[in-house]
Structure 1
Amino acid sequence: TLEEIEKACDSLNLHSSTVSRLKYASRMAAKVDNVVLQDGFKLYHHSFVLSEDGKWAVIQQGLNENARYARRYHWLSTKLSSFVEEPHNAIVSDIKKKFVLDMTAKESEEARNVCVDIAQEGSKRVKRLVAEVSREKEQATLNKWLGKERPAVLFMPRRINWRVMDDIYDIKPRNYEELVSIRGVGANIVRALALISEVIYEKPVSISDPVKYTYAHGGKDGVPYPVDRKTYDKSISILRQIVEEARIGNKEKLRALARLKRFSQAKVF
C-alpha cells in the first residue's frame, strides 16, 4: 500500500520528493495494467520493491476469471523511460490472447496524442464523436478494418463517466500520461477515446497482445503443458554455474547453491 511505501521510505530516510515519486510509480503501474492495457486480466496482487537509492520494481498479477489464467506484469525503474509507452520489463503469461487493447504500444503513439486532443475539447464534443462512432456505418467500417471477428475490447462502452470528462477538460492534461493519471479515468474512457481516434481520425491502436515471455518449463500441474525435465535441469545447471562464478561471499554462495539443489530435487511431475 502507499502507507507501507511511506513507512519503508521513512526507515531509509528518503527525501519527501523521492517518496512522492515512488508512490506515483506504484499508482501508475497499477493503473496502466488495469486501464491502459486492456487484456482481460484484472489485477488482484501488487508488490512494490524499493532500494535505499530510490530505485524500484513492481511485480503485479492479474486474473482472467473466465479463462482461469493468471498473468504477471514486471516493471523496473532502471529500464523505464515512459509509464505509457512500452513500460514493462516483462509480461509473463501461459497464454497469448488474439486481441487486446494496448495503448502502451509504440504503434498506438499517434492514437494516444489524438486522445489527449479529443479529451481537451470537452464532454459535449466527445459525446458527439461517441455517437458518430456508434453509428452503423462506422461500426461496419471498423469491422472491415479488423476482419469478421471483432474483439470485445474495441466495442464502444455503454457507460462513460461524463463528470470525469468534464474534469479532464478543466485540468487540460498536456500528454497521455497526465490524462490517464487523472482520478476517475478508467477503462471505459480510455477505450472510448481510443475508438474515436481509430474510427474518426484514422489513428490506429494496437490490438496485439504484448506478452514478452511465457513459461519455458511447463507447470507442475501439467498446465499449460507438463514440465520438460531436460530443459528444467539445464536451466538449473546454468544458474549453478552463474552462482559459482559470482563475486559474492562464500556464505551467500553456499545459500544460493543450497536453494538450487532443492529445486533440482523437487518433484515437478
Structure 2
Amino acid sequence: MERAWPAILATIRVSIRNRSGTAILPLHGGRVPPWLATRMSSLGAVIAQAIVLHYGRDEFLRRLSHPFWFQSFGAIMGMDWHSSGITTSVIGALKRGLGPLSGELGIHVCGGRGHHSRKTPDELRRLSERTGFDGDRLTRASRLVAKVDSAAVQDGFDLYLHGFIVTDDGKWTVVQQGMNGGSKCARRYHWHSEDLTSFVEQPHSAIDGPFQGEIVNLTDKRAAMSRSAQLQLLADCGPDGIVSELRSLSGEEPLQATLPHLVMPAHHDVRPGDVFVRRLHGTLAAAAERGPADFSELLLTPGVGARTVQSLAMVAEVVHGAPYRFQDPARFSLAHGGKDRHPFPVPIKVYDETIRVMKSAVHKAKLGRDEEMQALKHLDTQARRLEGFVEGPSLSSFIAGERAISPELGGRSVFGWENDPAERAKNRTG
C-alpha cells in the first residue's frame, strides 16, 4: 500500500494543478425569466465579439477559464451576482447568443446542464465534420476533465453541468459545476487547453515541483492496481487526508491556493465589503468626464444619458480589464442590477441602450470604423486613472439612488415592474 501512495498523490497533483481555477457559490433556486434571458444572450454575444475583435478568440477562452472574470461577466448581464445560477445562465446565454455567430467567430459552445451535458460528445463530433478538428481527441478531453472533477478528486460535489467551449482550431475551455446538497453550495471548475496540452497527449508530463513520485495513467488498463489502491486510500483517509498527506510529502502549501479560487458569500444583498468602492468611484468619474467627450452624438439620442455611459464603462472593463480587476464581481452587478432586485432591479431602458451601443460599435469596427470601440476603451482607461484619487457616494447611497430612479429606467425583476407596486406585491406573495 505504501508503494502506491506516491503514484496516487502524483495523479491527484496533476488533476489539481491542471485546473485553471475554481469557485464556491451558494445554491440559489429560480429560473431566468425570458425577458432577461434574451438580453443576456445579446449582451454576452456582443461582449464576446468585442473581446475577439480586440484581443482574438484565444483571449476569450482565457477569460472564460478565469473564475473571477466569469462571475463578473454573469453579474454584468443581470444575473444574481453571487449565486450558482450564474454558471448555468452564462453558458446558456453564450450557447444561444454565439450559435448564429459560430461561423464568423469560430467559437462553439457545447454541453450545458443535465441532459445537455451528455450531448457534448455528439456535438463535438458534428462540429469536427464541419471544422476539421479532431473530434475524438476533444471528446476524450471532455470526458477526462469530467472524470477528474467527478471521480479522481472526490470532494462531495456531484457534477450536473458541463460546458465545453471550443474554437475551430481545437482550443477549448471547460466550465463545469457540481452540487453539494448538504452544504447548499455549488463548486465551479475551470479548465483551459492552453494549460492542458500535455494532459491530452501525454497526461502526466506537466508535473513540476519538488515532489515527483511515480506517475500513472489512470485511463490505461495497466493502471488497475493503482486504481484499486486509490479506492483503498480514499476509504482509509478521505479527500482531506489525501490533501494533508500530499502537503506533508511535498512541503508545499495547499495546491488550491495556487489557483484563482473564488468564494462567494451567502448574503444576497451587495454590501460595502463586496465592492472596491474606489473602483466604482473611478467608473462614475470616467463616465461623467469622458461620456460627453467620447459619446457626444450618442448622448443626443433620446433615452441615452449619463446612466447608460456608466454601464458602458463597466462593460468596457469586462472587455479590457486585467485579471486583478475582477476580484470584486459584485461591483459589476451595479451596471444592470439583478433579476431578484439585488442590488437593484434591472434597468431595462439602460440595458437595452447598452446592447444597442455595443452592437453599433462592433458593427462599425468590422467595417474599419473603430471610433466607438476606442471610446469604450478610453472609458476603461480613464476609470483606472481616476480611481486612485476621486471621491464619490458610498455604496449604500449609490444603490439607494438606483432604487429611487428605477421606475424611470424601466426597472424590472422577477417580482414585476417597479412602476407597478401591485404587480410586485402579487408576485412576491404568489
Q: State the TM-score, normalized to the length of structure 2.
A: 0.31
Higher relative contact order (CA 8 A, sep 6+): 2
Q: Which has the higher helix share?
A: 2
Q: State the TM-score, normalized to the length of structure 1.
A: 0.46
